Structure 1
Amino acid sequence: MHHLLCGLAANPALPSALVDRLISLADDDLADDLARRPDLSRAQAVALAGRVEGSAVRLAYEGRLTAADVDPAVRPDAALALLDRGAGRPEWARLLAADPAHERREKLAACPGLPADVVDTLAADPDVRVVAELALWTTAPDVTVRLAAHPHAEVRRAVATNEATHPAVLGALLTGEGLPAARHCPVCDREEPPFVHDPQCPRPDCDLLPGASCDGSHESTVHHTREAALRNPATPVEAVVAFADHASTMLRWTLATRPDLPREVCARLASDPTPGVRADLASNPAVDEALIRVLADDPDPAVRRALAQHPRVPLGVLTRLAGTTKVGATLVPRIAAASPAEVEELALSPDPRARMLVAHRRDLPPGTRDRLADDPDAKVVKALAPHPGLTEAQLRAMVDRHGVRVLAKVATNPDATPALLEELTRHEPPVRKAFREIARHRAAPASALLACLKDSQAGPMAAAHPALPPPVITELLTDTDWQVAEAAASNPSLPLAVMSDLAWHRG
């Protein structure tokens, strides 16, 4: 029965009086669904927060509760949510900075706009997790300068991640120069150095990362600090270039993602022995056309696949890539940015790979769209099938010519008619994915939805579709599949009398 109430709580047609009734019954799960309702009044939000504390946090984040609705001594987590949104009161921060639960102080440390005295209190917190969270989120450069010299290496790692950290400080964190040596790290806090954490550690309460180690120099945390600084866009490029030849694969891998790399660094990384490094470099906007052409011949398919996502890959190279690796069933950036002349050139290409690439666009000129709709290649037609503006006759012709290879994509077309969607459910052999697409299609008729109910994956989606007849929806409330029954309870076409019965007599 509980799953029916959860479905009902999500029903957009549920009257306000029945929302009140469900609030009076709410537990954590039911409150979560009720809190998502866009029509929840302020009075209802306050009542729900009073019933289930956890819902107060969501409601505060969504702006349904204000500072006037929250007492931080009674609902500290909701107060934290409002502070996190910048909608709390400064005195709350002072109160919560002394909260005995480190989790709350940690959450507070991530909030924006904290008073300076609260920042100072958190920076001196005895729990390093609180200080690290402050180091990660503060926007005050002077605070990051101070925390970059913190005795705990984990705080320094957080400073290296923070994009508000001064560039000179980030450079120092990369090399360690100019900073006092760290005295602690998460590893030596728990184990006597030298220690290397077993990746297959059997201790269920152990939270050390696999392979974490400390020989007194806190090497694994220092490594993570360098990785964070390399990833940080505020780190000066002149400070990172030396890492192109670093012994650590992970550091070179991280470096390969930076969009400000000089060409000579990109060239070194293009010959890196690790395919993952080359793959991340391949999609980096810093790579020029000459290196793109080198990477297009890379033996690793992941590199070529990543290169297809490069925003400036030449069209000829992209077409060749589509023939040697799986580019993906989505619109790639270079095709999205293609000029009208390039779009027409690709659409007229004798190479079906080029036509398939451009067929993923959803803004093709009508003439180009219609020509591709008649393409003899099924992959081209499959890419085009969801394009708006296609007629019922064109969509039927696609299915007639290419059958199961395009049927599911035809079912996603926003202009597919009810008659066509019903016909697709009767196709032999059936295409299961098509049932899921039809079940969520706004134009699906009742007859098609009844067919979708027979499919285990499409069934819950069909049960929630407002085009189902009310008697069928009511019957589905007793379906043996609880997901179908819950979806039926959420259906806005569920009769009002049935909604009332669920809320009042079965709650």
Structure 2
Amino acid sequence: MVAFYASALDGIARNPALPTPLLLRLLAFDEGGGHPPRDAVQRAGLPEPAVGVILAHPNPGVRIDFAMSARAEPAQRARLADDPSPKVRAALAYGPERLPRTTVEPLPDAVCARLLDDPDPSVRAALLNSPHLAPSFVASMAAHHDPEARRGAVRAWEILPPGEQAALLADPDAEVRRAAALRECRRDARVTAELLRDPESAAEAQRCGLLVRADAERCVAERTHPAALAENPSLPADLVERLAVDPDEAVRLAVSLRPELDETRRMAIDFTAGDFDRGDGVRWVRDGLADPEVLRRAATSAHPLLQRAAARSPHLPPDLLRLLARVEDPVLENLLGIYHPDTPEEVLMRVFARLGGTFSAWMAETHPRFPREGLAARYADHPDGNYRRLAVRDPAATPELIERLSHDPAVWTRQAAAGDPRLPLHRLREALHVPELASSAGANPALPEAEMAAVLERAGVPA
């Protein structure tokens, strides 16, 4: 297949104006071991005939693409639960990759239960590692015959009935007992004491277990896991103060992130926040990204890691978003641009200018607040092609400007213009035969149906 025909075909696969008959023809493509473009398989709102073609496709790679589509309805993907290929069932069990500002609906509990009992171990492992399981299903695994499933059920510890918690704590499998104990130790000092004697559990028990005074003093003196201990919410205040002046910088940093400190005490600690540390390790903020009180404590702090941790939440109220948007911190701005749908335009433009490349393109195309109006006047003649392509986003850009930008020296600017429906038809037809523009031109919703059909013909997709 000629390379630019293949590129044009990829573009047509994601073209929002692609008629259903051509979509069905494209999805059925399997000649010579061919594979329809992934964008065709993972389109949003696929009609039922298209889903039927995918589910029956002889190439398991096509079915895998659909199993991992974030745009497909869970009930549609669930129809692959009995697929003959364990690779397809494993892809279904794990589900789509998690992307910022997107949510994936979990598969029905009954389908997950079937996958958990799948005869192939790779399918069972994929399900247990999936980030998309409903809490109700996770909790239901507490009585499963497979110890790996029972250990997975510990993730739903807070909603498990006391009887099921007790059963997991007494489970015949040592790993299940350890996982359950590491949850129970947060409220039980006796369980914490037992875990402290287990080298495999000691660090986590020091981090989150309920400590009696004697155990806390011994942990401080022994210094086996001092940075983990510095996070422990039950650590007595005087021992917290001792660790606040510890010679280990990581220990002082951990103390500075404790939730109970007031700002005066927090900022009096001699800590250093890494220039690229995103605050992912601040557990009490990470676990409370939907909790207004947690977000307020973190966002109003002067500690850069608490601010960055809060910036990962899409639930920031407007006043906290405005507060963080005024902080001069590139890492924090990047996080706001990635995670928050209402990030102010001026922040998004600073992130765009700073990062450039693929990330900037993704943000400009997907962020609901990324600016559009006025970009043509500001950037059509900018010396940087990364900015000239922004002019294509402007609703006021004329067809003449779009055509001019389709000949721009910068390839990304040319590609942006080739995909714009205002591009004059004669230039759009030309772009279909230019290797670096063929994909963008194929995705252009102004491309006539006859031209789409011709691309399929030239690419060898049979009628």
TM class by shorter-chain length? 0.5 to 0.7
Match of 2:290 in 1: none
Aligned pairs (5 A) from 1:443-454: 444-445=397-398, 447=401, 450-451=404-405, 453-454=408-409
State how far apart, in whole Å, the 1-side matches of 2:253 and 2:233 are.
14
State how far apart, in whole Å, the 2-side matches of 1:55 and 1:332 are.
29
Match of 1:53 in 2: 63
State how far apart, in whole Å, the 2-side matches of 1:306 and 1:60 are.
26
Name the amino acid aligned to 2:194.
Answer: G
Task: Determine helix, strand or coil for the equivalent of 1:472.
Answer: helix
Q: Displacement of 1:44 after TM fit?
A: 1.7
Q: Displacement of 1:20 after TM fit?
A: 0.8
Name the amino acid aligned to 1:57.
Answer: A
Name the amino acid aligned to 2:146.
Answer: A
Correspondence for 1:12 among 8, 16, 22: 16
Instruction: Give yes or no for the alignment of 1:294 onto 2:315.
Output: no
Contact persistence 2:231–2:258 (CA under 8 A): yes
Contact persistence 2:13–2:23 (CA under 8 A): yes
Q: RMSD over aligned Cα, in angstroms?
A: 5.6
Contact persistence 2:376–2:391 (CA under 8 A): no
Correspondence for 1:222 among 191, 201, 205: 201
Name the amino acid aligned to 1:102.
Answer: P
Give the % identical residues: 22
Instruction: Give yes or no for the alignment of 1:175 onto 2:193.
Output: yes
Contact persistence 1:99–1:105 (CA under 8 A): yes
Contact persistence 1:6–1:29 (CA under 8 A): no
Instruction: Give yes or no for the alignment of 1:245 onto 2:245.
Output: no
Instruction: Give yes or no for the alignment of 1:33 onto 2:39.
Output: yes
1:219-276 Cα offsets, whole Å, 9 max, x none, are 4x335xx42x5666xx547699669737567x44445556787755553443343434
Match of 1:214 in 2: none
Correspondence for 1:101 among 117, 120, 141: 120
Correspondence for 1:271 among 221, 238, 245: 245
State how far apart, in whole Å, the 2-side matches of 1:81 and 1:49 are.
18
Task: Determine helix, strand or coil for the equivalent of 1:386.
Answer: helix
Match of 2:346 in 1: 386
Aligned pairs (5 A) from 1:104-503: 104-107=123-126, 113=136, 120-123=143-146, 129=148, 132-136=151-155, 140=160, 142-149=163-170, 154-156=175-177, 158-159=179-180, 165-167=183-185, 174-176=192-194, 219=199, 221-223=200-202, 226-227=203-204, 236=210, 245=220, 251-254=225-228, 264=238, 266-295=240-269, 298=270, 300=272, 302=274, 337=319, 386=346, 414=371, 416-417=373-374, 419-421=376-378, 424-427=379-382, 430-435=383-388, 437-438=390-391, 444-445=397-398, 447=401, 450-451=404-405, 453-481=408-436, 484-503=437-456
Contact persistence 1:252–1:277 (CA under 8 A): yes
What TM-score do the two structures reach when normalised by structure 2? 0.60
From the superposition, tell whether residues 53 and 282 of structure 1 become closer, same or farther in structure 2 (CA, over 3 Å).
Answer: same
Task: Determine helix, strand or coil for the equivalent of 1:65.
Answer: helix
* Structure 2 residue ranges without an equivalent (≥5): 96-104, 280-284, 286-294, 334-342
Bigger RCO of structures 1 and 2 (CA < 8 A, at least 6 apart): 2
State how far apart, in whole Å, the 2-side matches of 1:434 and 1:473 are.
22
Contact persistence 1:439–1:461 (CA under 8 A): yes
State how far apart, in whole Å, the 1-side matches of 2:321 and 2:248 are.
35
Q: Displacement of 1:34 after TM fit?
A: 2.4
Contact persistence 2:165–2:180 (CA under 8 A): yes
Match of 1:65 in 2: 75
- Bigger Rg, which one: 1
Q: Displacement of 1:96 after TM fit?
A: 5.0
1:311-353 Cα offsets, whole Å, 9 max, x none, are 55899x95xx99xx9x99x98999964799xx8xxxxxxxxx9
Instruction: Give yes or no for the alignment of 1:22 onto 2:34.
Output: no
Q: Displacement of 1:455 after TM fit?
A: 2.0
* Structure 1 residue ranges without an equivalent (≥5): 182-216, 344-352, 362-382, 389-394, 396-403
Name the amino acid aligned to 1:122.
Answer: H
Name the amino acid aligned to 1:176.
Answer: E
State how far apart, in whole Å, the 2-side matches of 1:66 and 1:339 are.
37
- Count of aligned pairs between the two proteins: 387
